[in-house]
Amino acid sequence: MLKDKNSSAIVAVKDLDRAKAFYSDVLELNLADTSMDGVLGYRTGGTWLTVYKSDFAGTNQANAVTWDVGVELDDIVESLKARGVTFEHYDGMDREGDVHVAGPMRLVWFKDPDGNILHLIGGVPV
HEC letters along 57-109: CCCCCCEEEEEECHHHHHHHHHHHHHCCCCEECCCCCEEECCEEEECCEEEEE
Backbone torsions φ then ψ of 117, nearest 5 degrees: -85, 120
Residue 42 resides in a domain: yes
Residue 75 structural domain: 9-122
SS3 124: coil
Closest Cα to residue 13, out of 63, 50, 64, 52? 52
Has residue 3 been placed in a domain? no
- 56 contact partners, CB below 8 Å, separation of at least 6: 12
Residues 73 and 108 sit within 8 Å (Cβ to Cβ): yes
Task: Report the pLDDT value the prediction gives residue 126, as an integer from 0 to 100.
Answer: 41
CATH number where 38 lies = 3.10.180.10
- Better-predicted residue by pLDDT, 67 or 126: 67
CA angle 113, 47, 109 (to 5 degrees): 35
CB 49 within 8 A of CB 11: yes
pLDDT given at position 125 = 56
Query: Does residue 1 sit within a domain?
Result: no
Residue 71 CA to residue 100 CA, distance in Å, equals 14
Is residue 26 situated within a structural domain? yes
Note if the pTM is more than 0.85. yes
pLDDT at 1 over 90: no
Q: Using CA atoms, how far apart are residues 44 and 50, in angstroms rounded to an integer? A: 10
pLDDT digits (tens, 9 = 90+) for 5-52: 888 999 999 999 999 999 999 999 999 988 899 999 999 998 999 999
Number of domains forming the structure of the chain: 1
pLDDT digits (tens, 9 = 90+) for 78-99: 999 999 999 999 999 999 999 9
